[in-house]
Chain A
Amino acid sequence: MRKSVKRFSARIPLRLFESQPDERRKDPVMTRESDTSPFPYPLRWRIMDGLESALDAVWPRSMSRYSGWALVAPALLLVGILVLGLANIAESSLHTLDRSTFLPSEDYTLANYQTVADSATYWRVMWRSLLGAALTVVFTLLLALPYSYVMVRTPSAAIRKALLVALFLPFFIGQVVRAYGILIVLGTSGAVNDVLGFVGIGPFRLLFNFPAVVFGLVQYMLPFAVLMLAPALTAIPREIETAATSLGANWIRTFWHVVIPMARPGLVGAGLVVGTLSLTDFAMPAMLGGGSQDFIANAIYDQFFRTADQGLGAALALLLVALGSILVGIAIALFGAGTLGMGGKR
């Protein structure tokens, strides 16, 4: 052999020797770790290491088969307590109030359900709750969809932040204070009637009617809906919309044919949350309805705390639970659990 051989180990052809790293490069092992280490071990990893070894101590590896159960145990406990309460309510709904002693009757009876079924007032309350919830869902989604779309798609960080702040501010105020705000703004001598008076019309009675309650509910529900829609819209690649445009769809048709169908899981989820929260709402009908626009929750409250007829209140409460469950059941049957992002078949 004539001379020492430089062996090329790389499969990729090296064009020139000059592109080879030179031998003067420092050996990484030789340099002190503290100052020149190219990869500082992240603090978060250290914390995870600590937590993992702590977990190994309390929950040995051999128990890992039961880890799943251990993780859902707190939730199961919570649901269990709820079921217990429900059973309790169901039990008390089967006793009528004895008006002479003001004690629940001894024997079991369906009389409370009969009372509800026979009462035109309760039918009206139930119908009003359902209609109010449905209208709230429709209006909230109509407002939330463009709002979250702009929030997700705007190129301007300032606009996005402004929209987010406007969304979260009402969250910190709380429902009752917000309802008071609406009372003030929409009152006979409120800001809206002031402006209308300026133009020379009014004053109008804007409060204590059904539209006022729906208005309050929509106002209350909007942030929930926007927060549920935003991730669904973020999941739609911007390029898909560009593609739709290049294929001949203007923005309205892109929205209708592409954005809305692809955001369906978010829309269904937001609709369910808004619907069930509105159906069971208490504060808005109580404050903005002024006693004339009771929802089911208000009727239940009256029975428990005004007339102290626990049995009738419990019967109404169970009916509300049944109504809500049926509606959610229908929605899931129609759209499938998968559309809620729960990985169902479709």
Chain B
Amino acid sequence: MNESSSAGATRARVPEPETTAVRVRDVTMDFGSGVPAVDRASFDLEAGKFLTILGPSGSGKTTLLRMIAGFQKPTSGDITINGKPVDADPPHRRSIGMVFQKLALFPHMTAAENVAFPLKMRRFDPRTIPDRVKGFLDLVKLVGYGDRRMHELSGGQQQRVAIARALVFEPELLLLDEPLAALDRKLREEMQLEFRRIQHELGVTTINVTHDQREALVVSDRIIVMDGGRIQQHARPIDLYRQPHNSFVAGFLGVSTFIPGEAAEGGLTVGALQLSGTHSSRIAAGEPARGAIRAEQIRIGPTPDSLARCDTKLAGTILDVIFEGERLLYVVEADALPGIAFHIYHHDPESFDLYQIGAPAAIGWNAQDMKIFNAAV
């Protein structure tokens, strides 16, 4: 057995672990309305990773993606892909596959012709094209649909054609602009897992744009949260969820209850009440601050004493009980914090009849779960 040569061959096939595929530096796009659509965005993306740009409508996601695709020139800043500036080549010579929000499939071609189009345009050997097309239709589970026209396919099937078409020429970079937005929830969740599978199978560097937080958490290696054209946070999904940098990120992912107050040493002062918590951004004591606590991190019980392992306990009243299927959402007002509706998830729908609206209840949480942010951000 020739160990050294097989090890060498293996190493040659595995891409360098830490290569930067996409480098975005201080990119600003100003359409001339005064407020830039993208404001000094900077990030690096490792080769083979799946990045999601997440943000509310109008936050500049599409604009950023179009600049990375080279369809739009930034007002200032640089974008490089594998070390080369995006606009070094004319658009049709770039190695970027894109799935558009409205798919942009060719209606006058069959599914197979759509997938073959980039191969023909990029002058692949005509003898290899049929096999390649078949292989990619296989990958997106569309075997037998090759000769259908676009109007003979369902939304999800068209979706897959668009993905196959963007991937078939093995681009260095795959860009997805909310391609799942138009699908119903079930199909969307199915396609999210599909994305993940295909991306893992091919290892193509991918940037996905969405305003669906669940999609972002499910499919991504990295998430960038944008708001008002600015990158708010760039992190792994789990870190983003656990350690949001500011109250926007905390509020955008998951359901949180915010408590306005003033920063204090090791917590938050709300009127006469002292709540202990963890400071997530640097704020001096006495500055306006907002405490945030996630719905799944609040416990609920009949009395404060019944809440074990909670270091903050408050007595209150049930305002509403909402049945959400796999969980219940309680809305509770604490006696000590009038005017604040605490949102609490309870993952045992059987207990629906446990609390009546208007009944007394107690809520509690742990200090480490109460994040305290600068109120200005």
Q: Is B26 an interface residue (CB 8 A)?
A: no
Q: Is B310 an interface residue (CB 8 A)?
A: no
- 7 example contacts (A-B, Cβ-Cβ < 8 A) are as follows A11-B322, A13-B341, A242-B100, A244-B117, A247-B117, A247-B121, A248-B121
Nearest CB of B to A194, in Å: 44
| Contact pick for B360, options A2, A249, A250, CB 8 Å | A2
A243, A261, A264 interface centre (most CB from chain B within 10 Å): A243
Report the number of A-B residue pairs with Cβ-Cβ less than 8 Å. 100
Of B6-14, B91-99, B231-239, B301-309, the one with at least 4 CB within 8 A of chain A: B91-99
Given contact pairs A7-B357, A16-B341, A246-B94, a sample of 5 additional A-B residue pairs in the complex whose CB atoms are under 8 Å apart: A14-B331, A239-B102, A246-B92, A247-B166, A250-B90
Residues of B contacting A245 with CB < 8 Å?
91-92
Docked complex Cα distance between A262 and B258 (Å): 53
Smallest CB-CB separation from A9: which chain B residue?
Answer: B320
Write the A1-19 contact mask toward B (1 if CB under 8 angstroms, else 0): 1110111100101111110
Residues of B contacting A15 with CB < 8 Å?
251, 256-258, 341, 343
Docked complex Cα distance between A11 and B320 (Å): 10
Q: Is B165 an interface residue (CB 8 A)?
A: yes
B side interface size, CB within 8 A:
44
Nearest CB of B to A266, in Å: 13
Docked complex Cα distance between A307 and B97 (Å): 71
Docked complex Cα distance between A249 and B257 (Å): 51
Write the B279-296 contact mask toward A (1 if CB under 8 angstroms, else 0): 000000000000000010
Residues of B contacting A264 with CB < 8 Å?
108
Residues of A contacting B118 with CB < 8 Å?
247-248
Residues of A contacting B100 with CB < 8 Å?
239, 242-243
Docked complex Cα distance between A266 and B69 (Å): 32
Interface positions of B from 329 to 352, Cβ below 8 Å from A = 329, 331, 333, 339-341, 343
Residues of A contacting B93 with CB < 8 Å?
248
Residues of B contacting A205 with CB < 8 Å?
none
Interface positions of A from 232 to 259, Cβ below 8 Å from B = 237, 239-240, 242-250, 253, 257-258
Is A6 a contact of B102 with CB atoms below 8 Å? no
Docked complex Cα distance between A3 and B333 (Å): 12
Q: Given A15-B251, A262-B108, A8 and B319 touching (CB < 8 A)?
A: yes
Q: Is B58 an interface residue (CB 8 A)?
A: no
Residues of A contacting B360 with CB < 8 Å?
2
Residues of B contacting A246 with CB < 8 Å?
69, 71, 91-92, 94, 96-98
Is B106 a contact of A248 with CB atoms below 8 Å? no
Residues of A contacting B322 with CB < 8 Å?
11, 13
Smallest CB-CB separation from A242: which chain B residue?
Answer: B71
Write the A134-167 contact mask toward B (1 if CB under 8 angstroms, else 0): 0000000000000000000000000000000000
Residues of B contacting A244 with CB < 8 Å?
106, 117, 121
Q: Given A5-B357, A242-B104, A245-B91, A257 and B343 touching (CB < 8 A)?
A: no
The interface of chain B, by Cβ under 8 A from chain A, is 69, 71, 90-94, 96-98, 100, 102, 104-108, 117-118, 121-122, 165-166, 169, 251, 255-258, 295, 317, 319-320, 322, 329, 331, 333, 339-341, 343, 357-358, 360
Is B257 a contact of A262 with CB atoms below 8 Å? no
Docked complex Cα distance between A14 and B92 (Å): 48
Smallest CB-CB separation from A241: which chain B residue?
Answer: B104
Residues of A contacting B340 with CB < 8 Å?
16-17
Residues of A contacting B169 with CB < 8 Å?
247-248
Write the A260-271 contact mask toward B (1 if CB under 8 angstroms, else 0): 011010000000
Docked complex Cα distance between A242 and B142 (Å): 25
Smallest CB-CB separation from A346: which chain B residue?
Answer: B149
Is A248 a contact of B108 with CB atoms below 8 Å? no
Is B108 a contact of A261 with CB atoms below 8 Å? yes
Docked complex Cα distance between A8 and B166 (Å): 47
Residues of A contacting B102 with CB < 8 Å?
237, 239
Nearest CB of A to B370, in Å: 16
Nearest CB of B to A83, in Å: 38
Q: Given A13-B331, A246-B69, A257-B117, A7 and B319 touching (CB < 8 A)?
A: yes
Interface positions of A from 1 to 56, Cβ below 8 Å from B = 1-3, 5-8, 11, 13-18
Residues of A contacting B69 with CB < 8 Å?
246
Docked complex Cα distance between A114 and B96 (Å): 68
| Contact pick for A3, options B92, B98, B317, B339, CB 8 Å | B317
Q: Given A2-B358, A239-B102, A13 and B90 touching (CB < 8 A)?
A: no
Residues of A contacting B343 with CB < 8 Å?
13, 15
Is B92 a contact of A237 with CB atoms below 8 Å? no
Nearest CB of B to A346, in Å: 9
Smallest CB-CB separation from A253: which chain B residue?
Answer: B121
Residues of B contacting A11 with CB < 8 Å?
322
Nearest CB of B to A156, in Å: 16
Residues of A contacting B96 with CB < 8 Å?
246
Nearest CB of A to B359, in Å: 9
Docked complex Cα distance between A317 and B91 (Å): 55
Residues of B contacting A242 with CB < 8 Å?
71, 100, 104
Residues of A contacting B257 with CB < 8 Å?
15
Docked complex Cα distance between A320 and B71 (Å): 52
Lowest 5 CB-CB distances: which A-B pairs, in order?
A248-B121, A243-B104, A247-B118, A8-B320, A248-B122
Smallest CB-CB separation from B345: which chain A residue?
Answer: A13
Smallest CB-CB separation from A15: which chain B residue?
Answer: B258
